[in-house]
Amino acid sequence: SRELLPSWDRNADAYAFSPSGNAIYLTTVDASRTKLYRITRTSSGWTTSPQLLTSGGNNVSPSVSSDGKTIAWLQDATERPAEVYVATVGPPGLSGVHRLTHENDALLAQLKLNPVEDFWFKGADGDSVQGMILRPPQYQAGKKFPVLFLIHGGPQGEWLDQWHGRWNFELFASPGFGIVAINPRGSFGYGQKFTDQISRDWGGKAYTDLMNGLDAALARNSWLDSTRMGAAGGSYGGYMTNWLAGHSNRFKALFTHAGVYNLENMYGATEEIWFGDWEFGGPYWDRNAMDSVYRRWSPHLFAGNFHTPHLVVVGELDYRVPYTEGLSLFTALQRQGVPSRLIDFPDEGHWIGKPQNQRLWWGEALGWFRKYLSP
C-alpha cells in the first residue's frame, strides 16, 4: 500500500472508483462545503493534485456509471434538502451538470428560506477563519433582529452549508433570529494543523476564534442586535456554551444539549476512553494533564460566575457525554438561583432521534430563546 496524496492537507471522507480504475472521486470538507474532487492515473502515475469538480453546495455520495461516463451525487445547502445531481465526466472535469430530482420543490415553495452568507475574519493566530450568517425569514432592511450564536460539536467537526436533520439553521432562524455560526479552531476544512489546535486547549484559541467571529459578524451586519443574543451548542458545542456561562455576560440566554461540564468526571464516564487521553493529555491522575488541562479548561470550576438563564437538555442513554454532566450543570444553576430548565429524555442518547421527541426538543429550544430574546 502507498499514500497517493501525501501533500494534500484534507481527509478523504468518501470515495468512488471509476470502472476502469483510472480515476478516484473523493469528497472532503473545504470551508463549510463538502466538495467533489478527482485524481487520475496516467502513464506516469497518479496525479498528485486533486482536481476540484464541483463549484457550490454541499456534495456527498458520489456514484459512477458502469461505463465511467456519468457521475451522480447528492447536493444540498442550508436552504434546500438533498437532491440528485448528474453530470458527464470528461478530462477537463464535469459538463452538463444538472439536477435530476425535484422531490422537495412543492414543499420548499411554501417556505421562506434564505441562503447562508459566508464571511472571513482574523482568528486567534492572526489567520483567516470562516463563519456563516443566515437572515431570518422575517428579515427587513433597517430592522434589527436578535442573534442566535450556534456552536458545533466534535470538537473536531464543522458547520456545513447543509440542510441538517437536527441542528437546522433555518428552523433556528424561524422565530425571527439572525444565525451566526463559526468554524473555530478544531474544525475540519482548513487543514490538519487547524484541526489539531483544539486538543488540550478546549477553552483557549477556539473561544477566541468564536468571540472574534461573533464580533466580526456584528460589525458587518448592523441588522444583528448585539443587545439580544443567545448561544446554543451540543456535545463540544455544549461544553463551549457551558464555558461561555462562566466567562461571558454577552448573552441573554443559553442552551446546552449533551454538553461536557466536568472534565474529570467526563473522563471516567464516557464510553470513548481514548478520547480523554487524546484531548486532555491523559487521565486526570496524570499531574501534567491535571495542571494543564483538567484544572484549567473545565467549565464546572467557573460555576460561581453563572448568571445567564440556561436551558439544559440530556438523554439518559447518552454514553458519549453521560447525562449526569447535564444534571451537574443544572444543579449548579438551580442552587445559585439562575433561571434554568432541565429536559431529560429517558429514551434518547447523544442525539435526539425519535420524531415526537424532536418536536418537543425544538419546541423547548425555540420557546426558551423566544422568552429571552424576543422584544
Query: Closest Cα to residue 267, out of 241, 303, 234, 298?
Result: 298
Q: Report whether 5 contacts 28 (CB < 8 A).
A: no
Q: What single-letter DSSP state applies at residue 116?
A: P
Cα separation, 148 vs 94, whole angstroms:
38
Q: Which residues pair with 225 in a beta bridge?
A: none
Query: Closest Cα to residue 229, out of 239, 241, 237, 220?
Result: 241
DSSP per-residue codes, 129-176: EEEEEE--TT--TT--EEEEEEE-SSSSB---SS--SSS-HHHHHTTT
Which residue among 32, 235, 298, 328 is the active-site one?
Answer: 235
Only one residue has cell 459512477, namely: 64
Q: Within 10 A of 352 (CB to CB), how many other CB atoms are there?
A: 23
- The reply to whether 300 belongs to the active site is no
* φ, ψ at 187 (rounded to 5°): -75, 155
Q: What's the grid cell of residue 31? A: 470551508
Instruction: Supply angle C-alpha 110, 116, 121, rounded to 5.
Output: 165
Cα separation, 140 vs 288, whole angstroms:
53
3-state helix, strand, coil in the chain (%, to 5): 30, 30, 40
* φ, ψ at 93 (rounded to 5°): 140, -140
At a CB cut-off of 8 Å and minimum separation 6, what does 317 contact? 346, 347, 348, 349
Q: Strands 14-17 and 33-42: what pairing?
A: unpaired
- For the chain, first and last CA: distance in Å? 61
Prior bond to 155 cis, omega within 30? yes
- The reply to whether 43 belongs to the active site is no
- The reply to whether 318 belongs to the active site is yes
Which residue among 152, 257, 300, 350 is the active-site one?
Answer: 350
Which residue among 201, 318, 328, 340 is the active-site one?
Answer: 318
**Which residues are part of the catalytic machinery?**
235, 318, 350
